[in-house]
């Protein structure tokens, strides 16, 4: 089962780009994704969780 958590309802996701940061050793994917979002001044408006994907 996949769950999408919207964290910012004010954003219109039409035409948005998904930046995927899969967790791995030391959560490097998540850390790198957070860095890209912050350094580019982007808005995180949702997160995706699913069965078989580490938290």
| Count of all residues that appear for the chain in the document | 55
| The pLDDT value given to residue 18 | 83
Task: Indicate whether 11 belongs to any domain.
Answer: no
Residue at 12 is within a domain: no
Q: How many domains are contained in the chain?
A: 1
Domain range holding 34? Answer: 2-6+21-55
Q: What is the 3-state secondary structure (H, E, C) of the chain?
A: CEEEEECCCCCCCCCCCCCCCCCCHHHHHHHHHHHHHHHCCCCCCEEEEECCCCC
- 15 found inside a domain: no
Residues 6 or more apart in contact with residue 27 via CB below 8 angstroms: none
In a domain, 40, yes or no: yes
pLDDT, tens only, 23-55: 777 778 888 989 999 999 988 888 888 887 666
**CA-to-CA distance for 37 and 41, rounded, in angstroms?**
6
């Amino acid at each position: 089962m996949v769950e999408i958590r919207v964290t910012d309802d004010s954003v219109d996701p039409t035409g948005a780009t998904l930046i995927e940061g899969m967790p791995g050793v030391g959560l490097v994917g998540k850390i790198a994704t957070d860095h890209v979002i912050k350094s580019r001044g982007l808005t995180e408006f949702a997160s995706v969780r699913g069965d078989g994907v580490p938290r």
